Structure 1
Amino acid sequence: MDTGTHIVMGVALGSIATIDPYVAASPATAAAIMVGTIIGSQAPDLDTILKFKGNATYIRNHRGITHSIPAVCLWPLLITPAIYLFIPEANLLYLWLWTFIAVILHVFVDIFNAYGTQALRPFTRRWVALGIINTFDPIIFGFHIGGLVLWGIGFHPGYTFLSIYGILIAYYVLRYQMQQKVLRQVKEIIPNVKQIIISPTLYWNQWHLAITTNDNFYVARAIKYQIFIHDTFEKVPLPENAIIEAAKIDENVSAFLSFSPVYRWEVEEYDDHYEVRFIDLRYRSKDYYPFVAIVQLDHNLNIISSYTGWIFSEEKLRTKLDIIID
């Protein structure tokens, strides 16, 4: 989920904790828990700082080890003593428990996005991405804001957010049912489907689709359970030749390939260099595929420049490559 939603979820958990009579009777414990749930709801996204090391590092590691099983156990052990140092009157066990719940909730809701997490590490590095809830869901965020408003006008915060979470559980079930109906529609109109990657949008009944068959990739959108195919690409295996092998050595290309499950590729030869491009088919915006990796190599297969990330125009991409060359 987005940062704002994680923050309000932390506030909601801290509020739900006040239903416990012990927490309600201990202002220090209640305050410490609120701080712990807010920080705990943000902690796994500390890997966002990897953006400063470049897109390749960020793409390869975001929502990786920081969302893993060991990290989920470690975050509360780091956060709890730091808070307790400033609020020693708080109950240490309660503080740890609610901080732990906040971290677990963060990772749990992230797996419902299309981006997903490596939440099952160290057992597997497979990305768990259910594609049911958009990274920013206005309904989920709106319910939390509504809870804060009700709290502000005098409603009990704990019971208010507990009721809201009961509604949100039903909302997740509904979104799952909607997603499954879309997947059934795809299988009815496209035979021999091998894989469907589905991504929710900000719109209630619209979904992005990247569909793989034995011979083709289809990029489509579902609107009110009707499937509209935007693009069809022949499924051509990545060749095993010197140009591709040299391109795969590049850190930007390597990061892209470690993350993208469905993509097409292009190789162009120019007077003084080769250009190899990888295009993620999960993301389509106004007839453009913005998530790419591109590498330029001279005719001796030495890397000249490369880039991976989100680019929404060819002109901007060329600017990025020119900057790298300089």
Structure 2
Amino acid sequence: MDTGTHVVMGLGLGALATLDAAIAQDPITAQSVLIGTLIGSQAPDFDTVLKLKNNAVYIRHHRGITHSIPAILLWPILISSGIMLFYPETNLLHLWLWTFLAVFIHVFVDIFNAYGTQALRPFSNRWVALGVINIFDPFIFLSHIAGLVLWYIGANPGYTFLTIYGILVLYYFWRIYEQRKLINAVKERIPDAVEVIVSPTIRWSRWHIAIKSETQFYVARGEGTTIHIQDEFDRVPVPQTPVLESAKEDPNLSAFLSFSPVYRWEIEETNEGYEVRFIDLRYRSKGHYPFVAVVQLEDQLEITSSYTGWVYSEDTLRKKLDPAID
């Protein structure tokens, strides 16, 4: 989920925690738990700082080890220990339990996005992305805002958020049901589909769809259970040519391949050598595929420039590959 949603979820869990008798009867513990759930709801995304290094490192590691099973256990210990330095009288057990819940729910809800997480590490580096809930879901965000407003004007915070979270559980089941209907509709439309990757949008009824068949890639838009095919590409395996093997050594392309499950590729000969481009088919915006990896090589197959990330125009991409271009 986005940062704003994780913030209000942290506050919501702090409100829910007031149903815990050990917290309701102890103002110091209540305050420390609210701080713990707020920090815990953000902690797994502290790896965003990796973006300061470069996109390749960020793409390869974001929602990786910080969302892993060991991290889910470690974050609450670190956060609770830090809070205890300022609130030594707090109930450590209950502080740890609610901080743990905040960290766990952060990782759990991220699994339902199209981006996903590597939540099964260290047992598997596979990305778990269920593609049910958009990165920013207005219903989830606004329901938390409504709960916080009710809390502010005097409603019981615990029961308010217990009701909200009960509604949100039903909401998640409804979204899963809608996604399954869409996937079944895709398989009826394209019987030889071997994989269907669905990405929700901010609109409940609209979905982005990438489909693999034995011979084709399809890019589609779902409106309810109506499928609109937007693009179709031949599914051509990546050959083991010297140019492509050299390009794969580049950290930007390597990061892209570790993250993207469905892409097409192309090679262009240039005056200087070659340009290799890999294009993620999950993301389509106004006829353009903005998430790419590009590697430029000279004739001797030495890499001269590369980039991976989001670009929405060819001019912008050229500037990323050659910062000297104004």
With the length of structure 1 as denominator, give the TM-score of the two structures: 0.99
CA–CA distance in structure 2, aligned partners of residues 270 and 322 of structure 1: 15
Q: Shift of the alpha carbon at 1:89?
A: 1.4
Q: Is 1:66 aligned with 2:66?
A: yes
Distance 1:22 1:203 in 2: 41
Q: Distance in 2 between matches of 1:22 and 1:46?
A: 30
| Mapped contact 1:23–1:30 kept (Cα < 8 A) | yes
Tell me the amino acid that sits aligned with residue 143 of structure 2. F
Deviation at 1:272, TM superposition (A): 1.7
1:21 is aligned to 21
What is the DSSP-based 3-state SS (H/G/I as helix, E as strand, rest coil) of the residue aligned with 2:48? helix
Structure 2 regions of 5+ residues with no counterpart? none
CA deviation after TM superposition for structure 1 residue 308, in Å: 0.3
Q: Residue in 2 aligned with 1:88? A: 88
2:272 & 2:75 partners in 1: Cα distance? 51
Is the contact made by 1:305 and 1:324 (CA closer than 8 Å) also made in structure 2? no
The correspondence of residues 165-180 of structure 1 with structure 2, limited to 5 A, is: 165-180=165-180
- Cα deviation code 1:24-72 (max 9, x no counterpart): 1100000000000000000000100000110000000000000000000
Return the alpha-carbon distance in structure 2 between the equivalents of residues 47 and 199 of structure 1: 23
Secondary structure, aligned partner of 1:122: coil
Query: What residue is the counterpart of 2:208 in the other structure?
Result: 208
Contact 1:37 1:102 in 2 (8 A): yes
**Contact kept in structure 2, 1:304 and 1:325, CA below 8 Å:** no
1:92-123 deviation per Cα after TM superposition (whole angstroms, max 9, x unaligned): 11101110010000000000000000000000
Gaps of 5+ in 1: none
1: CA distance, partners of 2:147 / 2:307? 43
- Point out 4+ residue stretches in structure 1 off by more than 4 angstroms: none
Measured after TM superposition, the shift of residue 153 of structure 1 is 1.3
What are the superposed Cα offsets for residues 112-153 of structure 1, whole Å, 9 maximum, x if unpaired?
000000000000001110000001000000100000111111
* Cα distance in structure 2, aligned partners of 1:73 and 1:224: 39
Q: Is the 8 A contact 2:111 2:129 kept in 1?
A: yes
Q: Aligned letter for 1:245? A: E
**Deviation of 1:325 (Å):** 8.8
Matched ranges for 1:101-116 at <5 A: 101-116=101-116
User: Cα distance, 1:22 vs. partner?
Assistant: 2.1
Counterpart in 2 of 1:304?
Answer: 304
Root-mean-square deviation (CA, aligned residues, Å) is 1.0
Mapped partners of 2:75, 2:146: distance in 1: 29
- SS of 2:122's equivalent in the other structure is coil
2:97 matched to which residue of 1? 97
In structure 2, C-alpha distance between the alignment counterparts of 1:325 and 1:235, rounded to whole Å: 34
Counterpart contact for 1:216–1:232, Cα < 8 Å: yes
- 1:218 is matched with 218
Query: What amino acid sits opposite 2:141 in the alignment?
Result: F
TM-aligned CA deviation for residue 21 of structure 1: 2.2
Q: Which amino acid aligns with 1:86?
A: F
Describe the SS at the equivalent of 1:323.
Answer: coil
| Structure 1 equivalent of residue 231 of structure 2 | 231
Task: State how far apart, in whole Å, the 2-side matches of 1:165 and 1:72 are.
Answer: 21
Partner of 1:48: 48
Letter matched to residue 129 of structure 2: A
CA distance in 2, matches of 1:30, 1:281: 47
Distance 1:325 1:204 in 2: 41
Q: Measure the CA separation in 1 of the matches of 2:243 and 2:165.
A: 53
Instruction: Give the aligned length.
Output: 326
C-alpha contact 1:260 1:280 (8 A) present in aligned 2: yes
Letter in 2 for 1:98: W
User: Is contact 1:283–1:289 with CA below 8 Å preserved after alignment?
Assistant: yes
CA contact (8 A) 1:305 1:325 kept: no
CA distance in 1, matches of 2:89, 2:136: 37
1:269-288 aligned within 5 A:
269-288=269-288
Q: CA deviation at 1:324?
A: 7.2
Sequence identity (%): 64
Q: For residue 57 of structure 1, what is the aligned residue in structure 2?
A: 57
Q: Distance in 1 between matches of 2:292 and 2:271?
A: 23
Give the alignment of 1:305-320 within 5 angstroms: 305-320=305-320
Q: Is the 1:194–1:214 Cα contact (8 Å) retained in structure 2?
A: yes
CA contact (8 A) 1:33 1:95 kept: yes
| Counterpart code for 1:240 | Q
SS of 2:11's partner is: helix
Deviation at 1:156, TM superposition (A): 0.5
TM-score scaled to structure 2, two decimals? 0.99
